[in-house]
């Protein structure tokens, strides 16, 4: 009788140990599958977001380039040294300023989704000035009052673009990881 109890105890212990090992193996296998699925998903997200950051960096760099073109054309239109103004063909320079401003606004409108709210607000502020005065003046070439509004608008834009450029520079540095 004692032998049977011993046999029964050993059998029960072996059975419980085997069940524990089997349970542990099943759980480990399922967890390793979950970990592999998670790693695959993480790699996919990394690839997607790295290409998104790359595209965003390209868009920011291109917008910055358009801003430089715009500010340079406005500088030609309103030079800091007044006598230069008489040496230049104002209609041609106005056309250059109009074209560069238009390219800037069109590029921004097409890519605004890549920018944060702060940049959008700043650019929208001077884009409004450009749309209301510069583009209207270029289309209709109305009168001296319109020319005065155009001059005021261009001077405001000339002040606001460097502010926007600073915000863009900061955001670009964050993307590059050098802030």
Residue 5 has pLDDT above 70, yes or no: no
Using an 8 Å Cβ cutoff, are 71 and 172 in contact? Answer: no
- pLDDT, residue 25, reads 85
Percent of the chain scoring above 70 in pLDDT? 83
What DSSP letter does each residue of 23-80 carry, written as one string? HHHHHHHHHHHHHHHHHHHHHHHHHHHHHHHHHHHHHHHHHHHHHHHHHHHHHHHS-S
- Least Cα distance to 153 among 172, 120, 117, 127 occurs for 127
Looking at mean pLDDT, say which of 5-14, 26-35, 79-88, 129-138 comes out highest: 26-35
**57 is a domain residue:** yes
**18 is a domain residue:** no
What CATH number is attached to the domain comprising 131?
1.20.120.230
At 102-144, the pLDDT tens digits run: 899 999 999 999 888 888 998 898 888 777 766 666 655 666 7
Using an 8 Å Cβ cutoff, are 157 and 129 in contact? Answer: yes
Alpha helices in 78-143 (DSSP H): 83-87, 90-111, 117-129, 135-140
- Round to whole Å and give the CA distance between 84 and 56: 39
**Token pair recorded at residue 2:** 């004692």
- pLDDT, residue 59, reads 92
**146 is a domain residue:** yes
At 133-173, the pLDDT tens digits run: 666 666 556 667 767 777 777 778 888 888 888 988 888 88
Q: What is the pTM of this model?
A: 0.66
Using an 8 Å Cβ cutoff, are 127 and 121 in contact? Answer: no
**14 is a domain residue:** no
- Round to whole Å and give the CA distance between 70 and 156: 13
**46 is a domain residue:** no
Residue 65 has pLDDT above 90, yes or no: yes
**3 is a domain residue:** no
Range of the domain at 62: 51-176
**101 is a domain residue:** yes
Overall number of domains in the chain:
1
Q: What is the mean pLDDT of residues 42-54?
A: 77
**8 is a domain residue:** no
């Amino acid at each position: 009788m004692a032998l049977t109890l011993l046999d029964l105890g050993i059998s029960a212990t072996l059975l419980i140990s085997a069940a524990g090992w089997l349970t542990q193996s099943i759980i480990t296998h399922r967890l390793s599958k979950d970990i592999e699925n998670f790693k695959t998903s993480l790699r996919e997200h990394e690839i997607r977001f790295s290409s998104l950051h790359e595209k965003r960096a390209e868009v920011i760099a291109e917008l910055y380039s358009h801003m430089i073109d715009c500010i340079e054309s406005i500088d030609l239109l309103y030079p800091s040294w007044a006598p230069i103004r008489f040496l230049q063909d104002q209609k041609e320079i106005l056309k250059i300023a109009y074209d560069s401003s238009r390219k800037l606004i069109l590029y921004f409108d097409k890519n605004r989704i890549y920018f944060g709210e702060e940049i959008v607000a700043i650019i929208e502020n001077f884009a409004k000035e450009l749309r209301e005065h510069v583009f209207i003046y270029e289309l209709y070439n109305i009168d001296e009052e319109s020319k005065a509004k155009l001059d005021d608008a261009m001077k405001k834009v000339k002040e606001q673009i460097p502010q926007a450029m600073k915000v863009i520079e900061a955001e670009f540095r964050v993307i590059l990881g050098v802030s």
